[in-house]
Copies of this chain bind each other. A is one copy, B any other.
């Protein structure tokens, strides 16, 4: 044995084994961990059918780049063989030049289908639908439909949902399931095994959130996308699940006070990450500068009663915290359609008393804290300490109530002017509440402490 002979990399062998035998989802996971060059090499060596399976997984990272790296003829064969919705996803992320080159190499009917899907805005039902579904004319029998499904099974994303259309007008009439189909008599008409009700449908422009809600409400495996009564394609439940996961990620990022990342955290470039975060951070910083202005205008009071400054962070943060609670409640209730835009006053009527009670609880705790420190001799708040305690307590009631109220109204306001209510992030609410919190605090102090400290 020659010890200088090239030795196969252990990891490459392991990946190659996974590539050949494992569930395609595990193959994709393994490929995602490989550097680009290795991934391309491995993909070129894989049998074509497996290649199609791999690219059909939306979890495959950098699929557009990998497609570009394949030999042109293989790439267009791949796009032809894979599911239409995934092919559209991949093409959408390529730059215009690469996209038109790849599209040009495809058969005209497929090219036309892909172009029409690509024409719809990202995230709309039509942009994530597949055109590979089963539809049959209403004059077919159960037996004929079954024979047809057996023939096309391999080329359809799902055969469990079967759409029945008018043989003349092609208008969608009914939907049924394969489970109902196999219980029917072969010579019966297909309509005999369909429920006597129009199926639930969506329009090409239905947004992802509504898609998820509709499929979850009606427990469907696929939703038909219908335009002027004709079915253009279907959105399947696994696409919806992927969409829901993405949507949640975006919402969590937004609620954290930043733009949503569209790449995994560890894969995001350093500069791109700064870009996504600096914008909101600067906007919040600039708004928060108003607190400095507010403080400046109370400078006289601050000089006379420095003891007031001690509680500024405590009081301000309480407003932000109660606001953040209210915002998260309302964002979620809006997303789940438990409440709509016109329910804003109902929510306000709930949040105001809730905020007053919560503020009173914190107020009592705050007063106890000051009394305790004073009695135990941990700190001397001066001769007017009881008035200071009263100021802190009263300010907390006002600030927490104001925080809850404005935190709950912010998502409504954003939705009203056409923004995503989830943009009402916790930092956004805190900033909104901070300036007002200071004004409330100093106003309460002016009333309670006038003639003594101020």
Contacts and interface: CB of A to CB of B under 8 A. Distances in A.
B317 A354 contact: no
Query: Majority SS of interface residues in chain A?
Result: helix
Interface string A76-115: 0000000000000000000000000000000000000000
Contacts of A299: 306, 310
B357 A324 contact: no
The 7 closest A-B pairs by CB, nearest first: A256-B328, A426-B426, A291-B313, A265-B333, A321-B427, A219-B238, A295-B310
18 contacts: A153-B180, A178-B179, A216-B242, A245-B336, A248-B248, A253-B332, A257-B324, A257-B426, A266-B338, A270-B354, A280-B321, A282-B362, A282-B365, A288-B318, A289-B314, A291-B313, A296-B379, A299-B310
A306 B314 contact: no
A14 to B, nearest CB: 18
A4 to B, nearest CB: 36
Contacts of A449: none
Nearest to A407: B256
Which one of A200, A273, A280, A330 has the highest number of Cβ atoms from chain B below 10 Å of its Cβ?
A: A273
Interface in A162-215: 178-180, 182-183, 197, 200, 212, 215
A350 B212 CA distance: 34
A275 to B, nearest CB: 11
A283 to B, nearest CB: 10
A409 interface: no
A25 B318 CA distance: 41
A325 B258 CA distance: 6
Contacts of A200: 23
Given A178-B160, A178-B178, A216 B237 contact: no
Interface in A256-277: 256-258, 261, 264-266, 270, 273-274, 277
Interface of A: 23, 25, 29, 57, 59, 146, 149-150, 153, 158-160, 178-180, 182-183, 197, 200, 212, 215-219, 221, 237-238, 240-242, 244-245, 248-249, 251-253, 255-258, 261, 264-266, 270, 273-274, 277-278, 280-282, 284-286, 288-289, 291-292, 295-296, 299, 302-303, 306, 309-314, 316-318, 320-322, 324-333, 336, 338-339, 343, 346-347, 350, 353-354, 357-358, 361-362, 365-366, 369, 379, 400, 425-427, 430-431, 434, 438
A284 B317 contact: yes
Given A255-B328, A309-B312, A310-B292, A281 B362 contact: yes
